[in-house]
Structure 1
Amino acid sequence: MTSTLDDALKRLEMAVGLLEASVSRRLEAENRRGDLETELQLMQDDRARLAVELDSALTRLHRFEAATDDVSRRVRQAIGAVQSVLVQAGQLEPEEG
């Protein structure tokens, strides 16, 4: 009877060992999953922050482009005015257009 009891105890110990290993693997998998979910959330937060920064940068770019266009237009007007004054003063030949 002792050998039967010993065999049963060995099988029980083996089963408990397998159960512990299984629980350990399950916990590790859950930890990895939690880590992945945390990493995904961080990446989504970064993406949202970068989208806001990009929108802000595009807005600034459009303002700079508008300002550049305005400055360019004013410079052309100033050049035209200076040329007109020089033509009237006889210092510059009129452009043929």
Structure 2
Amino acid sequence: MTTPPDAPSRDPLADALRKLDAALSRLEAAAIRRLESEDSPDDRDTELSLMTEDRARLAAALDAASARLAQVEANSGEVGQRLDRAIAAVAGVLERH
């Protein structure tokens, strides 16, 4: 026959250890609940703050890259026109000789 966990046994030390184990389990569960309820909003706020900073940094980097791309495209068009004029000038010189 098995003794229920709540039932007193003939061994007072075993009873005390069982009670201590139960109390520690309840204390651990309460501590976990408290940590989860207190730290979760802070963790979320911290994570949200980091994500907001990352978003702002990435948006600035994207704006800079877009501006640089526009400048490169403008320079590319100008270089293309200069190359076309140079090719025409060389072709004109070659035709004369």
- What TM-score do the two structures reach when normalised by structure 2? 0.64
- Any runs of at least 4 consecutive aligned residues in structure 1 with deviations exceeding 2 A, and if so which? 16-21
1:69 matched to 2:84? The reply is yes
Identity of aligned residues (%): 6
CA distance in 1, matches of 2:43, 2:62: 28
1:31 matched to 2:46? The reply is yes
CA distance in 2, matches of 1:67, 1:44: 35
Higher relative contact order (CA 8 A, sep 6+): 2
CA apart distance, 1:18: 3.2
Among 66, 83, 97, the residue aligned to 1:51: 66
1:40-87, CA deviations, whole angstroms, 9 ceiling, x for partnerless residues? 1111100000000011111111111000000000111111111xxxxx
Segments of structure 1 that go 5 or more residues without pairing to the other structure are 1-9, 83-97
Residues 4-43 of structure 1 aligned to structure 2 (within 5 Å): 14=30, 18-43=33-58
CA distance in 1, matches of 2:32, 2:86: 80
Root-mean-square deviation (CA), in Å? 2.1
